Amino acid sequence: MEQPNLSEINKLSNGDKTFEERIFNVIKKEFPLEKAQYFSNLENKNLIKAAEDVHKLKHKVSIFGLEKSYEIATDYENNLKDGNYELKEDFEKVLQMITEYIDTL
């Protein structure tokens, strides 16, 4: 399985450490909130809202250079809109992987 990395952030920052720190701070703040909102909407069977949460989260997935995981998130978002839970486990593994990675930053 692919691993989160900072290559996209490094490209965006062009070596600007202050910019990188700002991005990290935003991600550290937003990601847990967005993840919690996703699980809440999923638990309440509000699949349209859960799909919106996945849409927000998939941008965090891409910023960590997770191309295959981004595709999973995109497909899962569409599945939720259709009332389909297919790819739920795969997407939630991605969330866990990012959570663990963020905890190391």
CATH code (residue 48): 1.20.120
Contact between 94 and 72 under an 8 Å Cβ cutoff? The reply is yes
The answer to whether residue 67 sits within a structural domain is yes
The answer to whether residue 9 sits within a structural domain is no
The answer to whether residue 4 sits within a structural domain is no
Q: How many CA atoms lie within 13 A of 51 on its CB side?
A: 16
**pLDDT exceeds 90 at position 105:** no
pLDDT category at 1 given cuts 50, 70, 90 is low
Q: What is the count of structural domains for the chain?
A: 1
The answer to whether residue 55 sits within a structural domain is yes
**pLDDT exceeds 90 at position 42:** yes
The answer to whether residue 8 sits within a structural domain is no
Give me the pLDDT at residue 31, please. 97
Confidence (pTM): 0.93
9 class by beta-carbon count within 10 Å (0-12 exposed, 13-18 middle, 19+ buried): middle
- Which positions ≥6 away from 95 have C-beta within 8 Å? 35, 38, 57
The answer to whether residue 3 sits within a structural domain is no
Average pLDDT over residues 52-78: 97
The range of the structural domain enclosing residue 43 comes to: 16-104
The answer to whether residue 78 sits within a structural domain is yes
Q: What is the mean pLDDT of the chain?
A: 95
**Rg for the chain, CA atoms, rounded:** 14
